[in-house]
Amino acid sequence: MTSIPDYKIKSNIMNNLYKNFKIAVVGATGNVGREMLNILAERGFPLENVTALASERSVGHEVSYGEEGILKVQNLDLYNFKGTHIALFSPGASVSAVYVPKATTAGCVVIDNTSHFRMDPDVPLVIPEINPEAIADYKKRNTIANPNCSTIQLAMVLKPLHDFAKIKRVVASTYQSVSGAGKEAMDELFNQTRALFVNDAIESHCFPKQIAFNAIPHVDMFLPDGQTKEEWKMTVEIKKIIDPSISVTATCVRIPVFIGHAVSANIEFHDPITPKDARKKLQVFPGISVIDDPAENRYITPVECTGDDAVFVSRIRADKTIQNGLNVWIVADNVRKGAALNAIQIAQILMKNFF
């Protein structure tokens, strides 16, 4: 199994290790793209080795790189990926469908954050803490897919528990922040909230219903069988990443929170497992932080996870209505670990072990 790099390595050492790698961030003006640039800066990637790319309408705009750095956005349509080692894509699935093949044909390895390649059998779907060995399969298409944000935080919790007691079935309910739908969705929540306080008309453009002070059981498009595409993604991605024998059903809900997704998961196991067993396994799993003391009101909410790398687990308890059942509450920054950070962790493994 490929080892996971030390992500807390000092910036000057990171600069030395990665100084020869050229990286492009596609979709650099979006929520995830900006966070990718922030994390690259945090981890010591030299500014001069990073290119910010977006559509023609964003060309010339400036985006921050760390506390002091600035990058000017270049035109994706005109960019030559030859000589760029890794491209981090987060521009939307339709854009990735067109430009990822252009990048890979030029010899660039793409880590794509959109849904377009996730279920392609020749493209590995990777969470570094779970299946880093799958990264080696990037050579088939020069492409690695980043899972869906809600899938990442759920899978991070399921994996160590599945290794201990083998999971039979998962019933997941998500509470997803508006940042998952982009900057315009965040603006819509802000504008609707302000409008309600001053008695202005409520305008909805990003969501089918009012999002301010509301909950909408509708994330992504509806499919013919009645589930949404977001719910379908969680089902099939968990199977691809962890184990195809796990049955997953989900209800995905958009809530009026700016950043941070939450998942309430009911997990049924084949083998006996107690809350104590679960805490023990989760506490030692990389990237997981267990905050679980109900008597002291110690549990994590979306507000508290913002800007943090960890996936937080709280309210671990037995489900007494079934044999071998647990309930857990899972929270993570969907823009960070749910997207940008996961992609950069993959990039770091690529640079350390495959170039």
What is 17-28 written as a DSSP string?
HHTT--EEEETT
* Residue 331 near residue 323, CB atoms below 8 Å: no
CA dist 196 and 251 (Å) reads 28
User: What's the maximum distance between 2 C-alpha atoms anywhere in the chain?
Assistant: 59
CA dist 252 and 229 (Å) reads 10
Count CB atoms within 10 A of the CB of residue 307: 12
CA dist 168 and 53 (Å) reads 43
SS3 136: helix
Helix and strand numbers (H, E) in the chain are 9, 14
Q: Which amino acid is located at 353 in the chain?
A: N
Q: Of 241, 260, 237, give the one whose Cα is nearest residue 337.
A: 260
CA dist 18 and 188 (Å) reads 39
Beta-strand pair 86-89/23-26? parallel
CA dist 195 and 342 (Å) reads 36
Catalytic residue positions? 149, 261
Which two structure tokens, joined as six digits, stand for 70? Answer: 């600035």
CA dist 177 and 259 (Å) reads 5
Residue 178: Cβ-neighbour burial (10 angstroms; 0-12, 13-18, 19+):
buried
* Residue 350 near residue 135, CB atoms below 8 Å: yes
Which two structure tokens, joined as six digits, stand for 181? Answer: 């739908």
What is 203-254 written as a DSSP string?
--SSSSS--TT--BS--SPBPTTS-BHHHHHHHHHHHHHT-TT-EEEEEEEE
